Every structure is written in C-alpha cells, then in structure tokens.
Amino acid sequence: MPWDVNGDGLVNILDVTHVASRFGEDSPDLNGDGVVNILDVVLVAQHIGE
C-alpha cells in the first residue's frame, strides 16, 4: 500500500505526520489552521512523488 508511508500496515494520521516531517514541519497540521483535517492530507498529496 503506497500511502502507508510509515509501514505500520494502516493509512492513518501517523503517515501524515511522517510526510509532514519530510517537509520540515513538526506537526501534521500543514496548513496551520489548528486542526488536522482533509486540507492537510491534500497538501501531502500534492507533494507525493517529489
């Protein structure tokens, strides 16, 4: 499963956190709105393959 970036067998917030750390962020709240939600996942998706 290519979206399971941390390799735990599930696609979950830990995967978003792992990808966020690759962007140099400490939090999976990539858009800075104070909530981890679909907008953060969209930001992650935009960077897949870079």
- The domain ranges of the chain are 13-47
Can you tell me the distance from the alpha carbon of 26 to that of 20, in angstroms, rounded to the nearest whole number?
Answer: 7
- Position 18 scores a pLDDT of 77
- Position 28 scores a pLDDT of 78
DSSP string across 1-50: -TT-TT-SSS-SHHHHHHHHHHTT-SSS-TT-SSS-SHHHHHHHHHHTT-
Tell me the pLDDT tens digit for each residue of 1-50.
577 877 888 888 787 777 777 777 777 787 888 887 888 778 777 777 66
- Position 10 scores a pLDDT of 83
